[in-house]
Amino acid sequence: MPIPMPNKSQNETEKKFISRCMANPTMVAEYDQSIRAGICYGQWRKSKGGVIKNSLRQGSKGGDILFNTGQLISEGYNKKVAKTIASFYANGEY
């Protein structure tokens, strides 16, 4: 069953939303900080009509893989699939 993710409230600024999302007890219990950041920024982009896949970070840094994993989770991918896609993308294979 998917973990419920915070959504942007009406008139909420990016800074306030990201802070609230990162501190959400369910998110803290389920995801490490880098994945949580990816999810929160992904949720923010979605609220603004952005396309997550176009904002994935390239590079083989572990942090990029975790951040991208979080963004893909916010798109509805499960953790395992999201991490696999993020790894391929970070290594230039996607």
Has residue 40 been placed in a domain? yes
Has residue 41 been placed in a domain? yes
Total of domains in the chain = 1
- Please tell me the distance from the alpha carbon of residue 63 to that of residue 89, in angstroms, as a whole number: 13
pTM: 0.70
Instruction: For residue 77, report the phi and psi dihedrals to the nearest 5 degrees.
Output: -75, 150
Dig out the tokens for 85 from the structure: 């896609």
| Residue-number span of the structural domain to which 61 is assigned | 14-90
SS3 77: coil
Has residue 9 been placed in a domain? no
Has residue 80 been placed in a domain? yes
| Tens digits of pLDDT across the chain (94 residues) | 567 788 888 899 999 999 999 999 999 998 888 888 888 888 888 887 765 555 566 554 555 677 778 878 887 788 888 878 777 776 665 5
